[in-house]
Chain A
């Protein structure tokens, strides 16, 4: 089978599973409710189908597949709004781990992710919802033979479900990558002082991926990589951006498909509304946007796979350019398509019961987290040499 056929088969398999099992309604988090994930579905997707381990090298218990394969999975998860922590675990943490030196703790974490036993997330953003190495305030300090982490991260995805929080933090003079087991909410450190990890779910726009604030107070930590991995971390985050873009393409495609199907069936003035040019031209414009976004994604995915095969300043530069390009376009596409698809559904699309708002919320949240389109366009201009 060609890579093309393998990916088509993977898509079919994932879609079939999600069509059968996804029911988002019980997992909506409203007004400070507790974030929950669909554990049964997570078990199927990871343990049974091994999807979290696609990007984990075979030597570490994964299947050594390409970013192109994982991107297909994220398209489908985005289309279904599946309430599982796949983006946090395999979309955020995994690429970051792939980009840094493979230490023993990194290998352990990779193996845990591949087997499906570990849910992980990346606690990246500062209180203002942004990340940069310079502005990173969390700090890891030596404590006896180990380390402890202190500081606050905000806008963290799937924090409540995570077994491990991976945190870019100051380690000595640089930016390192630190792992904190979330379960040890209150333990004693070697020095005998109390410590904690406190996770507070924020009331969030995206009801299916609520964000959280995580406060670390001398939390026992493990340094995965450091003392200075800011550059590698940046490339890992670029791959994460591309996987998020894949989720956006999948979501946009589903919104479009739903709107096309509605336009064929909804009859007004004695005709399906899809026979009116006002509607059909709108749908064609959305199709064009989705196809271009998908094409930009294909381009970006290639830069990601080239980087992982041969990490160099050149491939890292191409990856940064590809990631920002895809993110800028896929973000605007998803928000626009979700909005117009909702509109084509008419009043029903504005109701709580209809799923349109869930896509609209996801589109908006995905657009603004990890850099908005203006920021990515500026970054693209820099990367292109302007």
Chain B
């Protein structure tokens, strides 16, 4: 299916057949879906995939192949390079792609899941024309420049400054950002910077920054898993044209809130088993391979994982049904991230119970010690994308209607 013919909206059956034909030609079918081998080439179980340029490159190449076949932006507007089809086509494609052994797209998670929708919603026409298609085809990769050493959970206190150059109208940015996933292979940064001394929440503006511009320096930060997915980013007099501004001057808080909402949606999407880690039949086969299915503690831990995953999946389905029925979604959506971290913790418990000492040192046996990277990654998921505590605050205020704490800062 080419992008041009997509506008005639093929039937879902035809669309599936075309997708199937493309996938069959482009990738090997997942031979043994019941097995717990995540990749034939490497023995690695991880939540963070994007530490190396090679992984990012594999993701980009696959995204390009998919895009050129017409499946890279199924729901996107045709004027920006999308296929303009309804969401069910996207879901149909995702469902098919899961049956094939394809490179993980997680190095593009921030780029496609956060930067792109924010640009689409808030960008100038020039910026959208320049980058939407390029981001979607992974010719350009985006990262998010929000957190700072002094602005973690309290995002509104960012101190990176953007000053307007009266001569050119450009913005000159100076400051330091941190925890920037994928900055080392990114071309475009979604930046939140202080543009006035006005009131809190009304003094920030959002921009897109060329990560290759003079004055941008990226330094890797090594995380506890041993990998380096994220970075510190130093900005020293970086020039940003006004056409790269997202939203109004001093209206950056609204932009940032929208980005974080996209992020929660994207993270919540993995709650229900979008990730290969959460496939029950694979977990069962892995436990059988290990010969650990007779231990009552393993069986209980397995059942807890099963229950957590099934309930999270059903919670997601309830949220989607509510949206479809036109009623306001209940708390299901906001709770997704907390459900995800709980499920990861349950899986981590199962892995530890099942492996015992084999999690402590490498015996050379496949799919045993390789879980250590996963186990070490779980604490990061409770911090990333807004800490679990920040999520709880949000849910307490917006869903339960509990009063906010009195502020001690302005």
Contact of A384 among B280, B315, B404 (CB under 8 A): B280
Collect the chain B residues with CB atoms within 8 Å of residue A276's CB. Answer: 405
What does the 1/0 interface line of B356-400 toward A look like (CB < 8 Å)? 000000000000000000000000000000000100110110011
Instruction: Tell me which residues from 316 to 363 in chain B have a Cβ below 8 Å from any Cβ of chain A.
Output: 317-318, 321, 325, 330-332, 335, 338-339, 342
CA distance A263 to B314 in the complex (A): 29
The answer to whether B312 touches A295 (Cβ under 8 A) is yes
The answer to whether B400 touches A292 (Cβ under 8 A) is no
- Decide yes or no whether A205 CB sits under 8 A from chain B: no
Q: How far in angstroms is the closest Cβ of chain A from B163?
A: 37
Nearest residue (CB) in B for A281 is B392
A-B residue pair count with CB separations less than 8 angstroms: 127
The answer to whether B325 touches A325 (Cβ under 8 A) is no
With contacts A276-B405, A292-B339, A296-B314 known, is A284 near B400, CB below 8 A? yes
Nearest residue (CB) in A for B299 is A381
The answer to whether B335 touches A274 (Cβ under 8 A) is no
The answer to whether A281 touches B389 (Cβ under 8 A) is yes
- Decide yes or no whether A191 CB sits under 8 A from chain B: no
Collect the chain A residues with CB atoms within 8 Å of residue B164's CB. Answer: none
Instruction: Tell me which residues from 257 to 280 in chain A have a Cβ below 8 Å from any Cβ of chain B.
Output: 260, 263-264, 271-272, 274-277, 279-280
Instruction: Tell me which residues from 365 to 384 in chain A have a Cβ below 8 Å from any Cβ of chain B.
Output: 374, 377-378, 380-381, 384
CA distance A355 to B347 in the complex (A): 37
Nearest residue (CB) in B for A8 is B327
- Decide yes or no whether A285 CB sits under 8 A from chain B: yes
- Decide yes or no whether B296 CB sits under 8 A from chain A: yes
Nearest residue (CB) in B for A296 is B311
Nearest residue (CB) in A for B324 is A4
- Decide yes or no whether A293 CB sits under 8 A from chain B: yes
- Decide yes or no whether A161 CB sits under 8 A from chain B: no
With contacts A276-B405, A291-B331, A381-B303 known, is A299 near B314, CB below 8 A? yes
CA distance A225 to B296 in the complex (A): 36
Task: Tell me if A's interface is mostly helix, strand, loop or mixed.
Answer: helix
CA distance A283 to B311 in the complex (A): 19
- Decide yes or no whether B401 CB sits under 8 A from chain A: yes
CA distance A52 to B325 in the complex (A): 29
Instruction: Tell me which residues from 266 to 319 in chain B have a Cβ below 8 Å from any Cβ of chain A.
Output: 280-281, 284, 287, 293, 296, 299-300, 302-304, 306-308, 310-315, 317-318
Contact of A291 among B284, B335, B405 (CB under 8 A): B335
The answer to whether A295 touches B318 (Cβ under 8 A) is yes
Contact of B339 among A275, A288, A385 (CB under 8 A): A288
29 A-B residue pairs with CB within 8 Å: A4-B321, A260-B400, A260-B401, A271-B403, A274-B400, A275-B403, A279-B402, A281-B396, A283-B400, A284-B399, A284-B400, A285-B338, A288-B339, A292-B308, A292-B339, A295-B312, A295-B315, A296-B314, A299-B313, A299-B314, A328-B303, A374-B300, A381-B299, A381-B302, A381-B306, A384-B302, A384-B303, A385-B281, A386-B287
The answer to whether A272 touches B400 (Cβ under 8 A) is no
- Decide yes or no whether B406 CB sits under 8 A from chain A: yes
Q: How far in angstroms is the closest Cβ of chain B from A304?
A: 14
With contacts A288-B338, A296-B314, A384-B284 known, is A2 near B307, CB below 8 A? no
With contacts A2-B325, A384-B284 known, is A377 near B300, CB below 8 A? yes
The answer to whether B314 touches A298 (Cβ under 8 A) is yes
Collect the chain B residues with CB atoms within 8 Å of residue A378's CB. Answer: 296, 299-300, 303
- Decide yes or no whether A28 CB sits under 8 A from chain B: no
Q: How far in angstroms is the closest Cβ of chain A from B397?
A: 8
The answer to whether B403 touches A377 (Cβ under 8 A) is no
Task: Tell me if B's interface is mostly helix, strand, loop or mixed.
Answer: helix
With contacts A4-B325, A292-B312, A377-B300 known, is A283 near B402, CB below 8 A? yes
Nearest residue (CB) in B for A333 is B311
Q: List 12 other contacts, CB 8 Å, given A284-B399, A294-B318, A384-B280.
A: A4-B325, A274-B402, A275-B405, A280-B393, A283-B400, A284-B392, A295-B318, A378-B296, A381-B306, A384-B303, A385-B281, A386-B293
Q: How far in angstroms is the closest Cβ of chain A from B16?
A: 25
Q: How far in angstroms is the closest Cβ of chain A from B345?
A: 13
Collect the chain A residues with CB atoms within 8 Å of residue B304's CB. Answer: 377
CA distance A299 to B315 in the complex (A): 9
Collect the chain B residues with CB atoms within 8 Å of residue A296's CB. Answer: 307, 310-311, 314
Collect the chain B residues with CB atoms within 8 Å of residue A279's CB. Answer: 402
- Decide yes or no whether A329 CB sits under 8 A from chain B: yes
Collect the chain B residues with CB atoms within 8 Å of residue A380's CB. Answer: 303, 306-307
Collect the chain B residues with CB atoms within 8 Å of residue A202's CB. Answer: none
Collect the chain B residues with CB atoms within 8 Å of residue A41's CB. Answer: none
CA distance A44 to B404 in the complex (A): 43
- Decide yes or no whether A287 CB sits under 8 A from chain B: yes
Nearest residue (CB) in B for A279 is B402
Nearest residue (CB) in B for A5 is B325
Q: How far in angstroms is the closest Cβ of chain B from A331?
A: 11
CA distance A142 to B88 in the complex (A): 61
CA distance A36 to B332 in the complex (A): 39
Collect the chain A residues with CB atoms within 8 Å of residue B318's CB. Answer: 294-295, 298
Q: How far in angstroms is the closest Cβ of chain B from A288?
A: 5
Q: How far in angstroms is the closest Cβ of chain B from A294?
A: 8
Nearest residue (CB) in B for A275 is B403
Nearest residue (CB) in B for A257 is B400
CA distance A380 to B406 in the complex (A): 46
Contact of A377 among B299, B321, B332, B399 (CB under 8 A): B299
With contacts A287-B399, A291-B332 known, is A329 near B311, CB below 8 A? yes
Q: How far in angstroms is the closest Cβ of chain A from B403?
A: 4
Most buried by B among A271, A288, A378: A288
Collect the chain A residues with CB atoms within 8 Å of residue B332's CB. Answer: 291, 295
Collect the chain B residues with CB atoms within 8 Å of residue A325's CB. Answer: 306-307, 310-311
Q: How far in angstroms is the closest Cβ of chain B from A249?
A: 12
Collect the chain B residues with CB atoms within 8 Å of residue A280's CB. Answer: 392-393, 396, 400, 402
Q: How far in angstroms is the closest Cβ of chain B from A366?
A: 17
CA distance A48 to B314 in the complex (A): 34
Collect the chain B residues with CB atoms within 8 Å of residue A328's CB. Answer: 303, 307
Q: How far in angstroms is the closest Cβ of chain A from B335?
A: 5
CA distance A260 to B396 in the complex (A): 10
Most buried by A among B310, B331, B405: B310
Collect the chain B residues with CB atoms within 8 Å of residue A292's CB. Answer: 308, 311-312, 315, 339
The answer to whether A386 touches B396 (Cβ under 8 A) is no
